[in-house]
């Protein structure tokens, strides 16, 4: 990916997140940062411990990047 080609390795995770977010905005890619979602099992939502944080959630769509 272009972000890694330009920045290389060795930065903190937040640096790469910011760079990827910039790329998404430039390409009008819909996303959410640090999205939380629950895990459902059958008819219940599992307890709080099952809440998951994603770094970047990209809308379910196919993009030509």
Examine the pLDDT at 57 and tell me if it is beyond 70. Answer: yes
Q: Is residue 19 very low, low, confident or very high in pLDDT (cuts 50, 70, 90)?
A: very high
- Would residue 33 count as lying in a domain? yes
- Would residue 63 count as lying in a domain? no
For the record, the structure tokens of 44 come out as 């219940």
Q: Which of 28, 24, 27 is nearest to 55 (CA)?
A: 24
How many domains does the chain divide into? 1
- Would residue 64 count as lying in a domain? no
- Would residue 22 count as lying in a domain? yes
Q: Residue 4: CB partners within 8 Å, gap ≥ 6?
A: 16
Examine the pLDDT at 51 and tell me if it is beyond 80. Answer: no
Q: What is the pTM of this model?
A: 0.66
Residue that the structure tokens 């990916």 belong to = 1
Q: Are 17 and 35 in contact (CB under 8 A)?
A: no
Q: Residue 32: CB partners within 8 Å, gap ≥ 6?
A: 54, 56, 57
- Would residue 11 count as lying in a domain? yes
- Would residue 65 count as lying in a domain? no
Give the structural domain span for 21. 2-58
Better pLDDT: 31 or 35:
31
């Amino acid at each position: 990916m272009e972000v890694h080609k330009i920045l290389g390795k060795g930065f903190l995770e937040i640096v790469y997140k910011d760079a990827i977010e910039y790329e998404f905005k430039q390409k009008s890619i819909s996303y959410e940062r640090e999205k939380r979602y629950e895990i459902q099992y059958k008819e219940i939502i599992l307890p709080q411990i099952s809440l998951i944080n994603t770094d970047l959630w990209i809308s379910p769509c196919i993009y030509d990047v």
